[in-house]
Amino acid sequence: MGELETGKQLRVRETPIPGFLVIDLPVHGDNRGWFKENWQREKQLALGVPDFGPVQNNISFNAQPGVTRGIHAEPWDKYISVASGRVFGAWVDLREGDSFGATFTIEIDPSVAVFVPRGVGNAFQALEPDTAYTYLVNDHWSAEAQGEYTFLNLADPTAAIDWPIPLAQAELSDKDRAHPQLADVTPMAPRKTLVLGVNGQVGRALRQQWAGRTDVEFAGRDRIDLARPDTLESIRWSTYGTVVNAAAHTAVDAAETPEGRVDAWAVNAAAPARLAALAAQHGLTLVHISSDYVFDGSRPQHDETERFSPLGVYGQSKAAGDLAVSVASRHYVIRTSWVVGEGKNFIATMASLAERGIAPSVVGDQVGRLAFASEIARAIDHLLAVDAPHGTYNVSNAGEPASWAEIAKRVFERAGHESGRVTPVTTAEYYRGKADIAPRPPHSSLDLGRLEATGFAPRDQFEMLDEYVDSLASGA
């Protein structure tokens, strides 16, 4: 029987398998036995162990040396340790990617634990009588989940695991003996990304940004309708790693009506709160689109630390949704303004008026920057790709802020018409006599410093405006 090593310092070691970690555990012993903190979330997170959120604790008791189990890759993360005895542990990366087939082995006694990422094949061989092999997992076992397992034969020659007790002398199940060789294994696919609200401007831009990616699914209201929370409950969330909520109730003026107020709060506040709870439960990264309307616009520029001060129902419901999403530990709140994307938008409307000879009055006392939907999609892709620190990011185009009237004049000029046909008016003049009009923030410019610090360079708003107007003229 091996001698238990005591007196270790808590530390985390990396291995040749990406994300697979070895954790040395302090064990305190005397003539009565020993004690250890097997999983200490605060200390281990500080050393780099993922906050994987275990929900189930399993124990495999092995009466005799030579009991060998595996190799099983399961659709969840595991934290493995030994309560009594010793094991020889072996792991093979069975995930899609360059590390597929990478192998790592180590002997585990109560002073060693390992963190096994989803999709890494797990196996062990008991080296002592009465060995208790324990593991925490971050999803509940189910027959449906078992259908997502990936298996590898314990004797696979490519992995070439040097079992201390030869497999011919070991105790194996018939199922484990029948697992396939590495050449016949279908790698476990990564968790998918789910995009909600795919028929909106940002949703359509994300479709283009991620076109061809097999790990991204797009859901419209026919599948997931945020106004109907029950549609969220039928989704197997454990198969996803990221959810992008591009759905929202954006009818700013309609939100001021009794019926619109209910709809706005349901979609913009209650639904994000439910998504945040699901994200926390399943370890999802939640990306949520926010709005400059969470501010009253009294400041000329808004950064991510500014306190909420919404003027109308739409802004109030969006602020509530932002607060709810911020509860999820892995979240990105994408705060944007003046969105321009596929479909009806301000630029297309102004270009149409110019072509039809109409001389519009346009608000001249609201100042901000355009946020082309393609830039928002590009920023979301960037933040996820570089694994930027979680939190809130302002996202819009760069460049000098301008009023709606100045932007309209630019559209007229680019389309080959007289900009003087655009008449600037005040917000009060523009909406005089109209009912159920939501208040607008006079300043919508967003400070982009935090986004730029991640390595993202937003394009100038007028550069993209010119390209967009040209595309309208050409019919592209």
* Catalytic sites, residue numbers: 72, 135
Region at 7 (left for phi over 0; alpha for psi -120 to 50; beta for the rest) = left
- Which SS3 state, helix, strand or coil, does residue 443 take? strand
Instruction: Report the interhelical angle of 313-325 vs 271-282 (nearest 10°).
Output: 10
How far is C-alpha 400 from the geometric centre of its chain's CA atoms?
Answer: 31
Which residue type occupies 374? Answer: S
CA distances in angstroms from 83 to 35, 64, 130, 131, 291, listed in the order given: 10, 15, 10, 8, 51
Place of tokens 């932007």: 407
**Degrees to nearest 5, angle at CA 24 with 19 and 27:** 150
Cα(476)–Cα(465) distance, integer angstroms: 14
Cα(154)–Cα(90) distance, integer angstroms: 9
Cα(277)–Cα(267) distance, integer angstroms: 15
Q: Which residues of 425-456 are buried (b: 16+ CB within 10 A; e: fewer)?
A: bebeebbeeeeeebbbbbbbbbbbebbeeeeb
Q: Are 86 and 2 in contact (CB under 8 A)?
A: yes
- Which SS3 state, helix, strand or coil, does residue 424 take? strand
Give alpha helix (H) positions in 310-368. Answer: 313-325, 346-355
Sheet holding 103-108, edge to edge: 103-108, 87-93, 120-126, 68-73, 150-151
Cα(196)–Cα(233) distance, integer angstroms: 14
